[in-house]
Chain A
Amino acid sequence: GENVEQHPSTLSVQEGDSAVIKCTYSDSASNYFPWYKQELGKGPQLIIDIRSNVGEKKDQRIAVTLNKTAKHFSLHITETQPEDSAVYFCADPNSGGSNYKLTFGKGTLLTVNP
């Protein structure tokens, strides 16, 4: 089925703190999990992704972890900066039931306060 649940819907942190956003999915066949960042006035941009054969992937201050047993994956941002403020979306390309559908979560509005 098509179901990607994302939490929280809003997240406010102080600059330098860490932020964690979590998504759960329903299709056990899912094997690829991207995260997109949407800044104000722009379209979503892929920032990091993970495949099911690894449990964690890091790229500087951002990381994604995957728990296939529990069917959830999380975005971790460390040492947050004001430019990290944006809406973040998780996605699952296997939930849509078609070859072309990327099912997105509802998004998390992250605000990093200076």
Chain B
Amino acid sequence: ETGVTQTPRHLVMGMTNKKSLKCEQHLGHNAMYWYKQSAKKPLELMFVYNFKEQTENNSVPSRFSPECPNSSHLFLHLHTLQPEDSALYLCASSQGILQRTNEKLFFGSGTQLSVL
């Protein structure tokens, strides 16, 4: 176990549904991330939170809405998704910033999302 827990592991939803992905880290880290992993594409950073404040939004469509109520929990709210949004959504955490301090990322096992 990496100390980063994601639920659910699998999710199937229609394009009109609203669902949420949950991530919890037990490592005492200050930064949390959402990544999207699609087939044959590099890992894509979606959002970054540092000390509960959003510091990065990598041009993600508004149908994805993140929420970080505290440094240990991160949510990704999904609404009116498209079939092309089907992917593995990975949560990660790090103690601090990645640049210059050589921080390590700890990933959860991901939520495999299918949009019908």
Residues on A close to B: CB < 8 A?
4, 32, 34, 36, 41-46, 49, 51, 89, 93-94, 96, 98-107
Instruction: Provide the bound-state CA to CA distance between A106 and B80, in Å.
Output: 28
Asked whether A49 lies within 8 Å of B102 as measured between CB atoms, the reply is yes
By DSSP majority rule, is chain A's interface helix, strand, loop, or mixed? loop
By DSSP majority rule, is chain B's interface helix, strand, loop, or mixed? loop
Instruction: Give chain B interface residues in 41-71, CB to chain A under 8 Å.
Output: 41-43, 45, 48, 50, 55-56, 58
Instruction: Provide the bound-state CA to CA distance between A102 and B107, in Å.
Output: 13
Shortest C-beta distance, B6 to chain A (Å), equals 8
Asked whether B48 lies within 8 Å of A100 as measured between CB atoms, the reply is yes
Instruction: Provide the bound-state CA to CA distance between A88 and B109, in Å.
Output: 15
Asked whether B41 lies within 8 Å of A98 as measured between CB atoms, the reply is no
Other than the given A45-B2, A101-B48, 13 more pairs (CB < 8 A) read A34-B104, A43-B92, A43-B108, A45-B107, A89-B43, A93-B103, A96-B45, A99-B97, A100-B31, A101-B45, A101-B58, A106-B41, A107-B42
